[in-house]
Amino acid sequence: MLAGSLTLPVITSCSDFLDEKLTTDQNTEYFDTDEGVESLMTGIYYNLRYHFAFEWGFSTTNYGTDEFIVGGDGSNAMWNSYISSLSSDIPVVNINTTHAYDVWDNMYAGIATANTLIKKCETYTGSKKNEALGTAHFIRGFNYFKLLRQYGGVPIKLEPSTSVELEFTRATSQEVMDQVIADLLEAYAKLPETESVEGKLTQSAAAHFLAKAYLWRASEINDSWNASTQSADLDNVIKYASEVITDHPLATNFHELWAYTTPDGSNEKLSEVVLAAQFTSADATQGKYGNPQHLYFLNIYRDLPGMARDISGGREYQRLRTSYYTYNVFNHLNDSRLWKSFRTKFNCTKASTTGTNDTYVAGDRGLMFILNQPGDNRFAEIWNKESVKDAETGKLVPTTFAIYPSGSNETSNPMEGDTYLKYYAPLSKYMDGSRKTVSQEQGYRDGILARSAEDYLFIAEAYIRKGEYTEALKYITPLRTRAQWKAGEDRANYIDGGGAWNENALGWSVYTAVAGKGTYCNRNSYYESNNVAAGTLNSQASVLTVTDITSIANLPAEDRSVCEKLGVSSAYDVAMCFLLNEKTREMCGEFVRWEDLARTQTLVKRAKAFNKDAAPNIQSYHSLRPIPQTYLDIIQKEGKALTADEKKAQQNPGY
C-alpha cells in the first residue's frame, strides 16, 4: 500500500444521503454484498472533506503565491517562504505543521478506496452500479489529478491490495495525466446528469474537472511533451466547461456565495456550486474532519480597544495575511468583489473608554480597515487611534488601519512590516458564525470544490492559448459584469458568514459576553476608503468594461501596474496576466492559486514581485512539491530498500 492501511469510514453530513449510522463493525467481506458496495459508495465522499480539513488546505494552495504572505503565526511559513525546511521531511514547528506526506497519504487513501469500490462492482447486482462506478472513477481521477498538480508524476495503482506491497516507482506526468482523463471520462459517462440529493456527484462535476485537466495538460508546465495534444485539449476545455456553464448559472450577486446563514442553508444550494464537500453540525456524526478554514485568514482583533473575541468575529489564527497585490489588483471604486470578499469593519463587543475622545458601547464601530490608494494624505500613520470617523454614524472609530498613510507611494507596502503582521483586512469567504463556541475549531460550512465561475475562466484561458483574444474576453465579461455595482445597490452593505451568529444559531445561548452585540458589522469601509461621501454613489451602476486584453495600454490601471511590474509585453503574456489577475479578483483564497501559477510557469515571477517572504528563495523547481521521505524510505527495489541514488532518482529536482 502507498498510504498505509485502507480506511473506509462511514460518514454523515448535513446532506441526507450521508446520514448513515455504523451499527456494527464490518470487515472487508461486507463489501462483497450489495449493501456493502452502496455503503462504500457513500463513505468514499468523506475523502472530499480532506481538502478543507486542516492547515494543508491553504498551505499547499494559497501560500507561496502573490495573494497572501504569512500573518502573525508561522506554523507553516516554510510553504510560503520556500526556505530549506520545505523538503521531503519537513521539520515540525508544532502540531499544526503540514508535512510533505499529508496530501500524498490522503490522496492515496482515497484511491485505495476507489480501487476497492471498482473491484466490488464486478459482483454487485443492485440498481446503482453506474452511480457506484462513476463515483469511484471520479474520486480516483480527482485524487490522481491532485497528486499530479502537487508532485508531478507519481506511482499509479489501479487494483486493490490484498497484501503488503513495497515496490513502486513513479509514472511520468504524461502517464498520470492519461489516467486522470480516463477516469474522469468514465465518471462523466456513468454519473447522473442531475443531483438526486444535495452534495452527490453529477456529470457536471466530472465535466468541470475534465476541463481543468485538459487545461492543465495544455499548460506551460508540460511544454516538454504536450505539443501533440494541445489543440484537441483546448477544444475539450471549451466543450466541457461550456456544459457546466449551461447547467450551473452564476449566482446573481457575488455576495450570495459567501452569505452563509446556517448549515445546509440556501447559499449552500446555489446553482453556481458544481461540487462541494459536505460538512455536518451534528457532533455525533461529524467524523474526523470538520471545516476549520474560518480560522486561518483572520486578523487579530481581540487585543484592540472595545474588542473581545466572539463567535461572529472568529478565532484568529492569522496564518494568511492579505498581500498588497491582492488589495491593489481590484478597482476599489467599481469592483464590488473587493468589498464582498474582505471584512473591513468590526463592531465593538464591550464598553470601552479610549483616550479622551469617546466612550464606546457594544455595537459601536470598533475597528476599521481603510483600503485606500497611494497619495491619499488623510492618514498620518497606518495605525490611527480615535482619528477617523465612521462615514455613516459620524462617530470616531477607536482603531483604524489605513493601508496607505501619508507619504507612501505606489511601491510602498507599509502594512507588510513586522509591526503590522497581525493586522490586515481579512478574507471573509469562510467566516462561520454557526459554531457553538468561540474556541471551536471545526466549522460546519460546506467547502466549495468547484463553481461555474471558474469554468468561464477555463474557457477564456483556452481561447487565449488559441490566440483568439476577442472570444476570450466574451467569457471574462460575464464575471466582470456581475462584479459591477448595480444601480440602487448599497455599496456600503456587507455580508459574510459571521452573520450566521444570531438568535437561531447553534452557539447563541452559550455565548454570554454581550448577547446580540457581536463583532459582526453589516457595513464596509467603501466610502471611507474611497473618500466619497456616504451613500452618494448608491444610485449609480459601476462599469468594469474592458475591450482589449492584449495591450497594456488598453488595460485598466490596476492591470497595467501588474503587467509593468512583471515586465510582460507580448499579446499572449499580457492577456494571460490579465486573466490571472481576474482569477484573483473572482477566486482569491479559493485553494487554486499555487497550482494555477505553477502550471502556467508564472509562480516564480509573481512570487518574486509580490511576496516578500518568497522572493529571496523561490526557484523554478518549486513548481513541484518534494516527494515525501516517508514514501522513499519504505519502498523497495528487488526486495531491498532503495539506495541514496535510487531515492534521488525518484525525488523531484532541487529537493
State residue 2's pLDDT score. Answer: 63
Block residue for cell numbers 478565532? 315
Phi and psi angles of residue 323, each rounded to the nearest 5 degrees, phi first: -85, 165
Helix (H) or strand (E) holding 118: helix 102-120
Strand 365-370 versus strand 396-402 pairing type:
parallel
What residue has cell string 460550512?
445
CA atoms within 13 A on the CB side of 22: 16
Residue type, 197: V
Q: Which pLDDT does position 355 carry in this prediction?
A: 57
Written in H, E and C, the secondary structure of 256-322 is: HHHCCCCCCCHHHHCCCEEEEECCCCCHHHCCCCCECHHHCCCCCCCCCCCCCCCCCCCCCCCCEEE
- Grid cell in block for residue 103: 496530501
Max CA separation in the chain (angstroms): 79
What sign does the CA torsion over 325, 330, 336, 337 have? negative
**Does residue 138 contact residue 27 with C-beta atoms inside 8 Å?**
no
Calpha distance 401→336 (Å, rounded): 21
pLDDT, averaged in runs of 10, over the chain (655 residues): 40 37 58 91 94 96 98 96 97 96 97 97 94 98 98 97 92 98 98 85 98 98 98 98 98 97 92 94 72 97 91 95 97 98 93 68 91 95 90 91 94 93 96 91 95 98 98 98 98 94 60 59 96 96 97 97 97 98 98 98 98 98 98 95 96 97
Of the candidates 476, 494, 502, which has an alpha carbon nearest to the alpha carbon of residue 429? 494
**Cβ proximity of 319 and 297 under 8 Å:** yes
Calpha distance 100→88 (Å, rounded): 6
HSE value, Cβ hemisphere, 13 Å, CA-based, for 2: 28
Q: Among candidates 300, 370, 297, which has minimal Cα distance to 68? A: 297
Residue 507 has a pLDDT of: 54
Burial (CB < 10 A; 0-12, 13-18, 19+), residue 57, is buried
Instruction: Show Cβ contacts of residue 615 under 8 Å, excluding neighbours closer than 6 positions.
Output: 607, 608, 609
Where do the domains of the chain lie? 293-467+490-530
User: Alpha-carbon distance 620 to 130, whole Å?
Assistant: 43
R_g (Cα) of the chain, nearest Å: 25
Sign of CA dihedral 178, 182, 185, 187: negative
314 Rama sector, left if φ>0, alpha if ψ -120 to 50, beta otherwise: left
| pLDDT on residue 599 | 98
Q: Could you give the CA distance from residue 591 to residue 140 in angstroms, rounded to a whole number?
A: 20
Query: How would DSSP label each residue in 490-554?
Result: -TTB---GGGG-STTSTTTTT--SSTT--S--SB-SHHHHHT--TTTTTTSPP----S-SS-GGG
Q: Report CA-CA distances (Å) from 103 to 94, 145, 156, 173.
A: 18, 12, 15, 17
d(CA 362, CA 52): 33
What whole-number distance in Å separates Cα of residue 104 and Cα of residue 144? Answer: 10
Tell me how crowded residue 468 is: count the other CB atoms within 10 A of its CB.
13
| Distance in Å from the first CA to the final CA of the chain | 24
Question: Mean pLDDT across the chain, nearest whole number?
Answer: 91
For the record, the C-alpha cell of 405 comes out as 498613510
**Grid coordinates given for 109:** 487513501
Identify which of 515, 523, 55, 457 has the alpha carbon closest to the alpha carbon of residue 294: 55
**C-alpha cell recorded at residue 193:** 446528469
Distance CA 94, CA 580 (A): 34
Sign of the Cα torsion 605, 607, 612, 613 reads negative
Distance in angstroms (rounded) separating the CA atoms of residues 441 and 52: 12
Contact status, residue 261 vs residue 250, Cβ threshold 8 Å: no
Whole-angstrom distance, CA of residue 344 vs CA of residue 518: 15
Cell of 544: 468594469
Strand ranges inside 23-64, DSSP E: none
Residue whose cell numbers read 457553538: 436
C-alpha cell at 652: 523531484
Q: Which helix (H) or strand (E) holds 346?
A: strand 345-347
SS3 letters for 147-198? HHHHHCCCCCCCCCCCCCCCCCCCCCHHHHHHHHHHHHHHHHHHCCCCCCCC
Residue 249, C-alpha cell as written in the block: 448559472
Q: Which residues pair with 68 in a beta bridge?
A: 322
What angle, 0 to 180 degrees and rounded to 10, lies between the N-to-C axes of helices 452-466 and 469-483? 150
Q: What CA–CA distance (Å, rounded) separates 408 from 388? A: 18
Q: Which three cell numbers stand for residue 203?
A: 456529470
Reading the block at residue 340, the C-alpha cell is: 464582498
Summarised one tens digit per residue, pLDDT across range 423-467 is 999 999 999 999 988 899 999 999 999 999 999 999 999 999 999
Q: Would you state the cell numbers that stand for residue 206, as one nine-digit string?
A: 466530472
CB atoms within 10 A of CB 358: 15
